[in-house]
Amino acid sequence: MKQLRTKIFADGADLSAIAALCANPAIRGFTTNPTLMRKAGVSDYEAFARSALQLVGDRPISFEVFSDELDEMEGQARTLAGWGANVYVKIPVTNTRREPADDLVRRLSQSGVRVNVTAVMTLAQVERLAKCLRGGAPSNISIFAGRIADTGIDPLPMMRKALELIGSSPTIEIIWASPRELLNLVQASEIGCHIITVTADILAKLPLLGRDLDEYSLDTVKMFHGDAAGAGYRL
């Protein structure tokens, strides 16, 4: 497999999948969110989180607050952070009323809570957050590069600039979030992005990294031929 500079974090909320991925040394951490948890059928937040923490050991894992009120977010964040030294608390960049979470992020980070600011999509947001996080606890800024790409905008220039904006801060890491294809891992590695979060469907493609294209072409031809034969097609 092609060597990557970027750390791979598995993104999901299925405990059996998390358990299986823990055996893979290429997986350096884990992330979750309420949408993935709901999709996985999680009904008891704390029970899920504590089970996940037992599985991942000392690898970092992110759990997200779910209140839409900034003061309630703070209480939830401190509760989540208390569940383990390796917990990063996901704080949305704003609430649903567009109220920035900057002050909350600053208070949490400067008081020792490991924060993962999520749903970031603009450089203005990155610049503000870097100021809030600089000098605080280890933290992440999750830039949703895949969603940016979904709008027809190339996220690469933004990701490069984001890395420049945080400069040499030793405590802040940029996450390439919501990748859409395996190529995104290579792109993230080439620009020196610290972390990329990857879902199970893309993780399944990791063995393809660096694959010889002539051999891959032949395998594709064999697949088409085998499927046609298996279907019993005749002309």
Percent of the chain with pLDDT over 90: 95
Task: Assign residue 166 the CATH number of its domain.
Answer: 3.20.20.70
Sorted by sequence, the CB contacts under 8 Å of residue 83 that are 6+ apart come out as: 46, 49, 50, 53, 63
Evaluate whether residue 230 is within a structural domain.
no
Do the beta carbons of residue 116 and residue 142 sit within 8 Å? yes
pLDDT digits (tens, 9 = 90+) for 145-185: 999 999 999 999 999 999 999 988 999 999 999 999 999 99
Evaluate whether residue 157 is within a structural domain.
yes
Evaluate whether residue 94 is within a structural domain.
yes
Question: Domain containing 144: what range?
Answer: 7-208
**In the predicted model, what is the mean pLDDT of the chain?**
96
Q: Which of 39, 90, 205, 222 is catalytic?
A: 90
Evaluate whether residue 62 is within a structural domain.
yes
Evaluate whether residue 163 is within a structural domain.
yes
Catalytic annotation present for 7: no
Do the beta carbons of residue 207 and residue 20 sit within 8 Å? no
Evaluate whether residue 63 is within a structural domain.
yes
pLDDT digits (tens, 9 = 90+) for 3-33: 789 999 999 999 999 999 999 999 999 999 9
pLDDT digits (tens, 9 = 90+) for 180-221: 999 999 999 999 999 999 998 999 999 999 999 999 999 999
Do the beta carbons of residue 12 and residue 32 sit within 8 Å? yes
Evaluate whether residue 110 is within a structural domain.
yes
Residue ranges in the chain assigned as alpha helix (H): 15-21, 34-39, 45-56, 70-81, 102-110, 123-133, 145-150, 156-166, 183-190, 200-203, 213-231
- Residue 127 predicted with pLDDT over 60: yes
Rounded to whole angstroms, how far apart are CA atoms 170 and 116?
A: 15
End-to-end CA gap in the chain: 41
* Total number of domains constituting the chain: 1
Evaluate whether residue 103 is within a structural domain.
yes
